A = this chain, B = another copy of it.
Amino acid sequence: MLHLNRKTEYALLALEHMCLKEKEKARHINTREVAEIYHIPYPLLAKVMQELSRRGFLKSLYGVNGGYVLAKKASDITVADIAQIFEGPLAVAECFRDAKITCPQWNDCLIKDPFYELNRKLHELLVEMTIENLAMSNAS
């Protein structure tokens, strides 16, 4: 229950990888490299990288020795941001997904208030998790 999807996981792995490698040597990281290290299907990861680029989290470079670099500071990229891209807004219950009320239970719903609270707390947790923070658990 409550699992993030693979695109989000792949995106986080890629961003994390770039964050760590960026410190070693300033260079572009290409999709193939990330796909091979983490055993991610190349065409799928390519899509993910493109999306991250389109959304302004990565800067891309075409051609030989091309690839991507982080377009933002690692401390400014949160898990909440990335998950939002690949799976929409955080919504523990259906009713929190859209602004307008579509839930047929809404009026008589007995659980919406505590679940709204849960949603809020969970969001806080996801915002605290930045690419920089994640990197700390992998500092060698």
Contact = CB atoms under 8 A, between A and B. Distances in A.
Nearest to A20: B110
Contacts of A3: 2, 91-94, 97
B91 A1 contact: yes
Given A1-B88, A2-B83, A38-B104, 11 more contacts: A1-B87, A2-B2, A2-B3, A2-B91, A4-B93, A13-B105, A13-B109, A16-B111, A38-B105, A113-B137, A114-B133
Interface residues of A, number: 48
A105 B1 contact: no
Interface of A: 1-6, 8-9, 12-13, 16-17, 20, 37-40, 83-84, 86-94, 97, 104-105, 108-111, 113-114, 118, 121-122, 125-126, 129, 133-135, 137-138
What is the interface of chain A mostly: helix, strand, loop, or mixed?
Answer: helix
A111 B13 contact: yes
B39 A105 contact: yes
A43 to B, nearest CB: 16
A114 B134 contact: yes
